[in-house]
Chains A and B, each alone.
Chain A
Amino acid sequence: MNFDLSALRQEFPFFSAHPEWIYLDNAATLHKPQAVFDAMNEFYRSQNSNVHRSAHGLSQQATTAFETARTTVAQFLNARFSHEIIWTSGTTAGFNQLVFGLMGPVLQSGDRVLISSMEHHANIVPWHIHALPFGVELDVVPLTADHRFDMAAFEELLQLKPKVVSISHVSNALGHIQQVADIVRLAKAAGAIVVLDGAQGIVWQRIDVQALDVDFYLFSGHKLYGPTGIGVLYGKTRYLALLRPLLGGGEMIKTVSFTQSSWNDLPYRLEAGTPNIAAAVGLGAAILWLQQQDLTAFQQHKTALVQRFYDGCKQIPLLDLLSGPTTNAGIVALNLKNEHPADLATLLDQQNIAVRAGTHCAMPLFNTMNVKGSVRFSFACYNSFDEVDRTLAALTTAVELLSE
């Protein structure tokens, strides 16, 4: 390990508040370093004003803090322009804006959209609401036998000429990392607009949107050590410019009469209403914090945590492991044979192990795998090998209780 784990943990106030818990629900939300709280606290205490509106100097300070956070995100993703960063309330809201916005300018009746079997509901349901009723058809890339993205099937489905390909960077239920460079290259060669759901991927690796040449990339702040209620819809200028705004009012307008309105320029056109200014500032602080960390060391540490946990699970009888330990961003999903995942999760909860049970907002994936759900253990940079070992002991206790 190339970093001091105990020093790292001290930056996260949650752990001193709850030393009794082992938190392995990191794919649901991450804990936040003190730097994020400091930035938000400082904003509310000394800079609080609305942005872009008022004439006074305080508003200008708030606007500067808010727009600096946007620039921080743009630099983090290596976007060409700051206006390519659209603030959303999270990945789900971003997808709803994106899909709604594509309908008409890009997608019409009879067009096809390609997603994968392991998508989160946020990359499924907005298509159901905004696209399918208008005649768009959804195709689905199947899973391989080991629950991975089926690249061969993907290439075949691209022959249907989808207008949009929308795929998760990392599966939120299984942790498997998609080969996004290949996916983007192949999809673009087939003439598609490419969207990546980065909700779980953004914390795994640094994304260079220009090098990757992806058209849209979405993520949530709270899964990147930042606050809840803020997210990012990155898009290339030429595609963002096409999107119809989902929400109207506030900062997104240029002129309004009672009969019509004209819309503001990017990014404001897609940011109706007063934005979550403090959360944007908090996300900016989270990214600045992250840029001071050794991301490669974080990756290696998470890979080692997953491998150790996976190997330990192999020693426990009757466990069905749905995730594989390689090309995995930090998630192990499993079941105890013939038992409900909720029972296993409750018995872990009794032992202060925080995990999630169920279908993890990916019901179609579990139908495809033909299992009811799973218990998901998701690891973060701040988890320790000792926590892995204690979790394995708790898991053994739970399995024994259920097997009596």
Chain B
Amino acid sequence: MIRPDIFTKTAVVLKNIYDKQLPELRQTKDWQGKYRILMTLGKELPAFDIEWHRDEFLVQGCESKAWLLHYQDPITARHFWAFDSDARIVKGLIILLLVQLNGLTAEQLAEATPELLLSELQLQQNISLSRSNGLLAVLNKIKAVI
């Protein structure tokens, strides 16, 4: 049973990260500092039930796994996500995708290029060339809801 409040709680955390940690990340130039921030991002997410680690939600990377839940608001038609990953850095990178995508409409999602932020922050140079961490698969699954 997916509790709908996981999406509202996740949305609040993502909004806070967008407002607070994202500007910090932009200002941090050394790699240790960036990764220090990136690795703490996931700690703010609401608890993700182990029961949701189901194959139907699984996005398999070569090295790590992610589980992605989706909800579309029936009134506004906006899309929302909640997720978990077993690796901290991948978790942080997915958060940086979702802070840009969560709550968008299908039209906005279709035009979004959230991966540009990762290369701008020098965290992931080319998302399509690094299949191993599963990030591209996550992005494809997000966009597949449209």
User: Could you list which residues of chain A lie within 8 angstroms of chain B, going by C-beta atoms?
Assistant: 339-343, 345-347, 350, 357-358, 372-373, 397, 401-402, 404
Contacts and interface: CB of A to CB of B under 8 A. Distances in A.
Contacts of B36: 401, 404
Given A358-B62, A373-B63, A342 B133 contact: yes
A339 B88 contact: yes
A398 to B, nearest CB: 9
B104 to A, nearest CB: 28
Contacts of A346: 35, 89, 133
A340 to B, nearest CB: 4
B39 A340 contact: no
A372 B86 contact: yes
A350 B63 contact: no
B76 interface: no
Given A357-B63, A358-B63, A401 B32 contact: yes
26 contacts: A340-B64, A340-B88, A341-B63, A342-B61, A342-B63, A342-B64, A342-B89, A343-B39, A343-B87, A343-B88, A346-B35, A346-B133, A347-B35, A347-B89, A350-B31, A350-B35, A357-B63, A358-B62, A358-B63, A358-B132, A372-B86, A373-B63, A397-B32, A401-B32, A401-B39, A402-B88
B121 to A, nearest CB: 13
Nearest to A341: B63
Contact of B89 (A343, A372, A373, A404): A343
Interface in B47-106: 61-64, 86-90
Interface in B93-146: 132-133
Nearest to A345: B63
B30 to A, nearest CB: 10
Contacts of A357: 63
A146 B66 CA distance: 31
A305 to B, nearest CB: 25
